[in-house]
Amino acid sequence: MNDESYIKKCIELAKKSETLKEIPVGALLIINNEIIFESHNSPINDKDPTSHAEINVIRRACKKLNNYRLKNTTLYISLEPCIMCIGAICEARIDRVIFGAYVDDEKKFNEKILFYKKNCNIDHMPEFIGGVLKNDCSLIIKNFFKRKRS
């Protein structure tokens, strides 16, 4: 499978979270082209503000692999990770993060990452690649909030 195939799977997971009235974000973790774990946003249903798709994947993958480090892995997400999730991704030592939609745009995301690298004393920073199936991923989020406001 390629990056687009994995992001398409994240979109399916995002749609699942939307059916549960959660903000539609999906994520999965890959080692050697094998999906180790997949999840979606669930803070409302879990009554846990940290229950983002990325955090759920990281927690479950660490338990499955019996290690708090997830070296040699790639995390796929339908939406750019928030600061909390970026912190967890860095602490888990994930190598690559590939995501679909930007919250704002690529320039602002890159500025955030540069700020974190410069000011937050982070020991490990993965490679970030954004914009994979950006329009498809953006549309899910935009439509979700449009329906919520109407």
Which residues does the annotation mark as catalytic? 54
DSSP single-letter state for residue 120: S
Beta strands in the chain (DSSP E): 26-31, 34-40, 74-79, 96-101, 127-129
Burial class (CB in 10 A: 0-12, 13-18, 19+), 125: middle
- Amino acid identity at 81: P
